[in-house]
Chain A
Amino acid sequence: MKTVMLTIEKKVTLTIDGKKVTVPEGTTVLEAAKTAGIHIPTLCYLEDINKVGACRICTVEVNNRLQAACILPAEEGMVVKTNTSRVRQLRKHILALILANHDSNCPTCIRNNNCELQTLANELNLREEIFEREYARHVDDMSPSVVRDDSKCINCGRCVSICNEVQTVGVLGFVHRSDRTKVAPVYDKSLAELSCINCGQCIVNCPVGALREKDNTDLVWEALADKSKYVIVQTAPAVRAALGEEFGLPIGTGVTGKMVAALRRLGFDKVFDTNFAADVTIMEEGTELLGRIQSGGVLPLITSCSPGWIKFCEHKYPELIPNLSSCKSPQNMMGALLKSHYAKMNGLDPKDIFVVSVMPCTAKKFEVQREELEVDGIRDVDVSITTRELAQMIKEARIDFLRLEDEHFDEYYGESTGAAVIFGATGGVMEAAIRTVADILTGQEIEEVNYEFVRGMEGVKEARIKINEDITLNVAVVHGGANITALLDKVKNGETDYHFIEVMACPGGCVNGGGQPIVPDKIKMEINVPVERAKALYRADSAVKRRKSHQNPMVKKLYEDFLGEPNSELAHKLLHTTYVNRQ
């Protein structure tokens, strides 16, 4: 007999500003207030990630005592007042204390108009600087990806939790104590000198302008103005799913057409789609996988398109380097092809071609500088900018983004399939690979293309895919440093039997990359941002006819005309790379 356990969720009822609210036990006063339509202000709080009760801006009166709402569990019969004059006064004064340790020069700050501190000062009606300012002046801009400005840091600790607990990299931490307390990289080094994986997750979770990407827009403007340069831009799949946010469109709005139009307006000679190279990646990586399976090569094969993950692996799991796919990321495959095949096709000198990539990612800035990725001394990609930097350029060029008519990518390298566009979400590379590999293994055109089990935001997704009677593919999809660490420890110890693992450094995959538009925590509490952005990609996938990489006619042509076949000698020279043990 089976006994069925009935768990009844206990509820508690409390009074918030005179209103009775019933919530499940364990709910915080902050969350309970939200259900009553009250936004208690927060700064250090980051849902599920940083619940430390440190900034104290969420102070409320509970049974006539002052308490921090973000960490206080709601209790039966509690009487909470969030809007008394005492509470308002204290919040203002706490905010004033924070501002005194902050270089408030909003107009020139990267986060002007998208800053949680600025917004709060405004909303809480703080109109004077009560205290004397005193703050550190130290900017670390040596990293190719992340710039840290101490003068703006409010010691909220969000980046510390992100870097240590979510990403398990651990190069940022609190140091010292008292008024010398600060958040700093290990031994006050530059992030460039440490095992920072350049993921930029710290940036997108910082409430203020203390963290930002290294701004490379000047290099792009320069190239665009240079008549001797043939400037090509490529855009990653996740960019189109988020760029619109920078112009006020709802989260999850796809803006491919407007984005292409804007890029043409900016003056790029050609506007291509990194998706093309994503399709090529599937051809190369799929072939590599089949080769390893059939010839008893090193398994599991692990994807290599997330440069944050690559650096993570090089620092923390050098013993797994042989498992990494030798494929370059789509960004770099694209660059290498543009400077070889495309150059030849159009009679251009590769040295005159300037490739700009627009990426949802800050780690790509590091990736483009890697020596291992050069072909005959020529860099694949010249500059990599983030979604945010592109938005910035569009704004600077005074282009009215919302009024742009949709346009299409340029021919050949603008061609792609549905398999490529989902690369931007966790599970996407895996799904794209399965679509192609299954066809090759069975020699059939399998109709079902939606592999739902690799989609979604679960930290580790596993599946055994029965391709036919003889072949079962064991795969796993993992994203975010902590999940990666948990899974790879098992892989390292030989506790798994996977053939293929997709790894992305950022939680949620590229849609939630460190180069994407920054969403204030207040909104993140309401909307699951990566989920909404991923939806835009899956919509784009199901809207097209060709949904498998090997069906891309231009990719076929590329192999026929130029590369020969996947993993050919030329393909290896251009599209594959090596890695470095950084331990």
Chain B
Amino acid sequence: MKQVHEVHFITELFGKYDGSSLQSYLEAGGFKPLQQLLAGGSEKILKEIDESGLQGRGGAAYPTGRKLRQFLSEKAPRKFVVCNADEGEPGTFKDRELLRRNIYQVIEGMIITAVCTQAGEGIIYVREEYTNIHDHIEQAIESCYQHNYLGKNILGSGFSFELRLFSGAGSYVCGEGFAMCESMEGKSGRPRTKPPYVKQAGFLNLPTLVINTETLSAIVSIIRHGAHEFRKYGTAESPGTKLISVSGKVERPGVYEIPFGLTINEIVNGLAGGMKNGKKGNFVQIGGASGGILPARLWDTKYTYEDFSRAGMSVGSGAIVVADTETKLLDYLKVVQDFFNHESCGKCTPCREGNRQLRIIFDKIAAGTATAEDFYRMEIVLDVMGSTSLCGSGKTEVVPFNTAIKYFPEEFAVFAEFEKRAVI
């Protein structure tokens, strides 16, 4: 295997400055991209983002340039940019690192996005589980206010931008745009139906741009170095770099910035130091609890949007959870199901009742009483949930189960086995 290295495009400034000091951020070259924008105008910046081919890093992979232009065309007296730092997908902790080690770049990304889309207010929506970094974020916001990077008439540009932190209160679904708006409005995080879309009528029914922490960070780096530098990494369809969170049974779990196109093998056995204690790899789950299960035999699959799509999964949140053969697939899926059964907002039938049924089935599997009929039920549930759920949570929850069935059919033969045993 060829030697693989991480790259440092988005994470360039990690460790290069004292993460809690605006002064040292400036010394490290911070806020130059913003100056560029204020000097050269937003059209140039938007073009740069278009050209970079950057896709949203929150999971849906929508082209960021197009997204910003659409939001620019929404006209309203108040418009909001919301940094999605809810990071709820199990196995994901890369936004945590961006907030902790490079918060000023996130803030700069928000200011740039706001200026380019003519939004006057911003919110950093941080998950409750990260309360231990809330102070750090608020201090950074505070010093940006003190030095007029935030507030009225930023750096004399005539543009004003108010930014604050909002803490979630413990809910995975609140990472979804509408659920997030609901919770910011003081309601339970149950997604609204579309249309209208968040960008048209989100927070307080005003145009709202929900954008991921990494996407914002990437915007700044792209402006700093130019789209062509970004495109030097990755593939034609998946340009640039991506932050991944590697965890589980590897020697060196952690956040790595990679160019798109590395294989899972290169990531697991290269960057992450190989399987822990030299155990045998079993599968990885890609992109969070709602991500696909990829068996070890397919670990030469390339980490790109296009290769994953062919494999029936997606990049998702950038998580890679690595399991060795000590983890039984069905036990693991029960944990995944448990997560969703805990987090589903309960609003729509397919997801609420589907999860109830999946729980019943996985309990039976654990108890050794599942039958072939339960497998038939499971397939119906996955079909209904994946195709008729109200929001992305129910729609994508089925991916781990469907990919597991696809790649590990033998594991599901147990249903028939159980039935046989029941007859005896």
Contact = CB atoms under 8 A, between A and B. Distances in A.
Touch A–B, Cβ below 8 Å: yes
Interface stretch (A12-20, A173-181, A319-327, A480-488): A173-181
Interface in B379-397: 380-381, 383-384, 387-390
B354 interface: yes
A131 interface: yes
A178 B355 contact: yes
A54 B348 contact: yes
Interface in A31-59: 52-57, 59
A130 interface: yes
A264 interface: no
A52 B350 CA distance: 14
Contacts of B377: 130-132
B343 interface: yes
B286 interface: no
B32 interface: no
Given A98-B353, A179-B352, A68 B346 contact: no
Interface in B289-304: none
How many interface residues does chain A have, given as a range? 20 to 34
A155 interface: yes
Contacts of B381: 97, 131
A121 interface: no
A460 B188 CA distance: 32
Given A90-B387, A100-B357, A132-B357, A52 B347 contact: yes
Most buried by A among B173, B344, B389: B344
Given A53-B193, A90-B388, A179 B383 contact: no
B171 interface: yes
Contact of B349 (A94, A176, A178): A94
Query: Which of A59, A97, A130, A155 counts the most B-chain CB atoms under 10 A from its CB?
Result: A97
A178 B397 CA distance: 13
A71 B193 contact: yes
Interface string B204-242: 000000000000000000000000000000000000000
A76 B255 CA distance: 47
Contacts of B355: 178-179
Interface string B342-386: 111111111011111101100000000000000001001101100
B353 A54 contact: no
Contacts of A178: 340-346, 352, 355
B342 A52 contact: no
Given A66-B388, A93-B383, A131 B357 contact: yes
Interface residues of B, number: 34
B195 interface: yes
A120 to B, nearest CB: 12
A121 to B, nearest CB: 14
A411 interface: no
A179 B346 contact: yes
Given A53-B193, A177-B188, A94 B388 contact: yes
Which of A52, A59, A155, A177 has the most chain B CB atoms inside 10 A of its CB? A177
A134 B352 CA distance: 13
Interface string A125-137: 0000011101000
Contacts of B357: 97, 100, 131-132
Nearest to B196: A73
A97 B353 contact: yes
B188 A66 contact: no
Contacts of A56: 348-350, 388-390
A426 interface: no
A101 interface: yes
Interface in A293-331: none
30 contacts: A53-B390, A54-B349, A56-B348, A56-B350, A56-B390, A71-B193, A72-B195, A73-B195, A90-B383, A90-B384, A93-B383, A97-B354, A97-B357, A100-B353, A100-B357, A130-B377, A130-B380, A132-B357, A132-B377, A134-B360, A155-B349, A174-B190, A176-B346, A177-B344, A178-B346, A178-B355, A179-B344, A179-B352, A180-B346, A181-B346
Interface of B: 171, 173, 188, 190, 193, 195, 340-350, 352-357, 359-360, 377, 380-381, 383-384, 387-390
Given A94-B388, A97-B381, 19 more contacts: A53-B193, A55-B348, A94-B384, A96-B380, A97-B353, A97-B354, A130-B380, A132-B357, A134-B356, A174-B346, A177-B188, A177-B343, A177-B345, A177-B346, A178-B340, A178-B341, A180-B346, A181-B346, A181-B347
Interface of A: 52-57, 59, 66, 68, 71-73, 90, 93-94, 96-98, 100-101, 130-132, 134, 155, 174, 176-181
